[in-house]
């Protein structure tokens, strides 16, 4: 990923090339996320649903700047 970016900087980049590169990266990332999700065990899936502070199984709030998952009670505290 870094080397092609350096080559683009050296020779210049067009908007079309930039868009194409972003689409390729997005496709690769999506495949990786789907593969990783399919490898998650049942315990890992349950941990995704619990609060990162109190470890209770609650509705999650995702804070936009840090992406931490918190329940409403911990968020208010």
Question: Which candidate, 74, 54, 33, 55, places its Cα nearest to that of 63?
Answer: 74
pLDDT given for residue 12 in this prediction: 66
pLDDT given for residue 46 in this prediction: 72
Please give the model's pTM, rounded to 2 decimal places: 0.38
pLDDT given for residue 49 in this prediction: 75
Q: Which residues pair with 50 in a beta bridge?
A: 57
pLDDT given for residue 36 in this prediction: 63
What's CA 54's distance to the chain center, in Å? Answer: 23
Where are the chain's structural domains? 1-39, 42-77
Which two structure tokens, joined as six digits, stand for 52?
Answer: 């990162």
Pairwise CA distance, residues 71 & 65, whole Å: 16
Per-residue pLDDT of the chain (77 residues; tens, 9 = 90+): 567 667 666 666 667 777 787 888 778 777 666 666 567 777 776 777 788 788 887 666 777 677 777 888 888 87
């Amino acid at each position: 990923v870094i080397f092609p970016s350096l080559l683009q900087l050296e020779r210049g980049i067009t908007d079309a090339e930039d868009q194409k590169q972003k689409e390729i990266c997005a496709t690769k990332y999506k495949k990786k996320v789907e593969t990783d999700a399919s490898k998650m065990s049942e315990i890992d899936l349950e941990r995704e649903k619990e609060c990162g502070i109190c470890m209770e199984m609650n509705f999650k709030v995702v804070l936009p700047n840090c992406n931490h998952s918190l329940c409403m009670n911990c968020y208010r505290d």
